[in-house]
Structure 1
Amino acid sequence: MGAEGVHTPSVPEPELPDGITAAELDAEARRDLRGLQKDTADMVARHLVAAGRLVDEDPEQALEHARFARKRASRIALVREAAGIAAYHAGEWAEALGELRAARRMGGGPGHLAVMADIERALGRPERALELARGPEVKELDRSDMIELTIVVAGARRDLGELDAAVVGLQIPELDATKRDPWSVRLFYAYADNLLAAGRESDALQWFVHTVDADVRTETDATERIAELTGEELPDDGVEFDVEDEEPSTEIDSETDAAVGEAPAEDEIADAEDDAEDDSDSDSDDVADSAADLESDEDVEDIEDVAAESTDDDAVSDSADVPEPAVAEAGVAEAAAAEAGDADATATAVPVEGGQEK
């Protein structure tokens, strides 16, 4: 149990990030540390700077630095306030509330009233959040803090089931879709969210659109909320993903198909059949025997069916080894056969089926 009745776990000094100096702390904060010995003041200042740097990206680590600073300077309001904010971001609600209360007692003023009210909500006490919003310190808040408190109060009323009151409470002069003030994004989003909770989907959609227009830094998920309400897909963010390369096609291009479809010379067929016999005698013999028996176009179709069924890998590989000049010679042979009108030559010039499945 530390000073002011706030429990803070005992932790060793956390390692400081490289390059941090006490001079990075703003001048007003450094003045608050003048009551400490110089070495202690510099140490506390460096840990406060580290907490400020890490509070958004690593709130737990930021809290470690703030706790250590508090341990060395527990009677300085600035240090207690920093510890409270760090605890708030880390989700340590009770610790955060205790530190902020202590900072208010030490330093006076409204303190982080909106943060304290939000912590009361997080602790399941929305009534206390409303009490804080009615306190005399509210008059001392600047406009930005006042709007933050207004957003928290709307949330507290929503927690209590007062949905319409939550919506009405946010209808303040700053709720103007044409304005671009520092608080506009949060105010527009909170209003849209409470409209949706009250069942006013159409109005909520419109204000989520206003939020997107104002949210140039993409601080909210308003775009996703719009997609949920409209059922439309999220817009393309311009990120392209690599597509796996397709496997090479086993089909021959149209020009090769046309060439292979032409009748090859009888000598080339014999060479191909001889090569195929080396690895698959039975299949090649069937093809060769069937080719020898053919004398009509109907037989040609039958032998192609037989060849299609014999798709042995070795036969396919060997048939693909037919030299390219054979295709050109096949065209010459067919042209000669056509001029002679030799039907039998055309019938025996059967293309090797394996050559169509490279």
Structure 2
Amino acid sequence: MDAEARGELRTLPKDLAVRVARHLVMAGQLLDEDPAAALAHARAARRLGSRVGVVREASGLAAYHAGEWADALAELRAARRLRGQDDAYLPVMADCERGLGRPERALDLARSPGVERLDQAERVELRIVESGARRDLGQYDAAVVTLQLPELRDRRLRPWSARLFYAYADALTEAGRADEAVDWFARAAAADRDGETDAAERYAELEGLEIIDVEEADGPFEMTDEAAGASEVPGPPSSAAEAEPHGDEADPVQPPPVEEGRAGEPGTESAPAVPFGDVTGELREERPPAGGVPAVEFKEAGPPPAEDGAEDGAEDAAEKTDEGPHA
């Protein structure tokens, strides 16, 4: 726990403060993966220390993550009274008003005087909530204008970039500007490195693409007996009789002659030892153009350099017959 929270808990008896602190720590650890369990710990801390501001704050944030909008709003209001005018709660409180079906009240909070004291991240979050409230009221064009912030054109990725790009793309979609929304969903997907949004899925939906998760394929891949036989590479003949062709069988393809002393010399080209090459996708970020965001593009790496024994690999490849490609 931070120093400020520990300072507030010192107003409680020592044993009681330890018990409350343990519940608060567990609530913080479970907040993202198990909101219901986090809320249970936060409520246990509230029963023990309801007059401590940090306890009411933790209870309000846990209720917010669990979707208990009314409880979250009540707890955060109490935290503001106990801790003094803490305007950092404004984005969460406005979103709770939206969750309760009161977008007008969310807009009132977005226009409150305390907005001027918010830091940059909190202001961006509040504008995202305000845009959502505009959409709830059917003001789709106003929702788009609300998010046209300087941060939307920031050249560097910020902690709020993915959420801001996604909200802007969502507002464009609701306003009937799907062509522009496609571009911003793509930007949101590139900025969302932690999978916080479903920007990639929304982009694929608008473009008519289908995303297939190969890890969720039905059952393991099984090779049939015919396919297995076709994929076997024939070994060397076991006898001289097998080595000689019979009847109308085609003569095996003879390897081209190799001049002695030329293979491996500088300036002499030889076949690579890797038969199928090696293509890899490598992500790299480039400096974006003015007024844009970082672009992510793929570059294709060529085949790896031939190692020692590349000449032997070339001769082995040439000795294969014309029976067709092997699987």
**Normalised by the size of structure 1, how large is the TM-score?**
0.61
1:205 aligns with 2:185: no
Counterpart of 2:316 in structure 1 is none
* Equivalent residue for 1:89, pick from 65, 70, 78: 65
Counterpart of 2:101 in structure 1 is 124
Counterpart of 1:37 in structure 2 is 13
What residue identity is the alignment partner of 1:165? A
Shift of 1:236: 6.2
What residue identity is the alignment partner of 2:116? K
Q: Distance in 2 between matches of 1:175 and 1:108?
A: 32
Shift of 1:244: 4.1
Q: Distance in 2 between matches of 1:241 and 1:176?
A: 43
Shift of 1:229: 0.4
Q: Distance in 2 between matches of 1:142 and 1:210?
A: 24
Structure 1 runs of 4+ aligned residues shifted over 6 Å read 235-241
* Equivalent residue for 2:150, pick from 155, 160, 173: 173
The question of whether the paired residues in 2 share the 8 Å contact of 1:47 and 1:68 is answered with yes
What residue identity is the alignment partner of 1:108? G
The sequence identity of aligned pairs, in percent, is: 58
The question of whether the paired residues in 1 share the 8 Å contact of 2:88 and 2:122 is answered with no
Change (3 A) 1:75 1:137: same
Counterpart of 2:45 in structure 1 is 69
1:50 aligns with 2:29: no
Shift of 1:237: 6.5
Listed one character per residue, the Cα deviations across residues 236-280 of structure 1 (whole Å, up to 9, x for unaligned) are 678887644245459x99xxxxxxxxxxxxxxxxxxxxxxxxxxx
Listed one character per residue, the Cα deviations across residues 263-321 of structure 1 (whole Å, up to 9, x for unaligned) are xxxxxxxxxxxxxxxxxxxxxxxxxxxxxxxxxxxxxxxxxxxxxxxxxxxxxxxxxxx
Q: Distance in 2 between matches of 1:73 and 1:207?
A: 45
Q: Distance in 2 between matches of 1:244 and 1:141?
A: 55
Q: Distance in 2 between matches of 1:33 and 1:144?
A: 28
Q: Distance in 2 between matches of 1:146 and 1:33?
A: 29
Shift of 1:111: 3.9
Tell me which structure has the larger Cα radius of gyration.
1
1:80 aligns with 2:56: yes
The question of whether the paired residues in 2 share the 8 Å contact of 1:177 and 1:210 is answered with no
Q: How does 1:189-338 map to 2 (within 5 A)?
A: 189-234=166-211, 243-249=220-226
1:155 aligns with 2:166: no
What residue identity is the alignment partner of 1:74? S
SS of structure 2 residue aligned to 1:180 = coil
Counterpart of 1:340 in structure 2 is none
Which structure's residues are more often helix, by fraction? 1
Extract unaligned runs of 5+ from structure 1. Answer: 1-24, 254-358
What residue identity is the alignment partner of 2:189? V
Change (3 A) 1:66 1:236: closer
The question of whether the paired residues in 2 share the 8 Å contact of 1:150 and 1:170 is answered with yes
The question of whether the paired residues in 2 share the 8 Å contact of 1:118 and 1:129 is answered with yes
Listed one character per residue, the Cα deviations across residues 207-226 of structure 1 (whole Å, up to 9, x for unaligned) are 01111121122211111001
What residue identity is the alignment partner of 2:20? V
Segment of structure 1 superposing worse, 219-228 or 173-182: 173-182
The question of whether the paired residues in 2 share the 8 Å contact of 1:100 and 1:111 is answered with no
SS of structure 2 residue aligned to 1:64 = helix
Extract unaligned runs of 5+ from structure 2. Answer: 231-327
The number of equivalent residue pairs is: 232
Segment of structure 1 superposing worse, 76-85 or 212-221: 212-221
The question of whether the paired residues in 2 share the 8 Å contact of 1:103 and 1:111 is answered with no
Shift of 1:135: 1.1
Counterpart of 2:122 in structure 1 is 145
1:185 aligns with 2:185: no
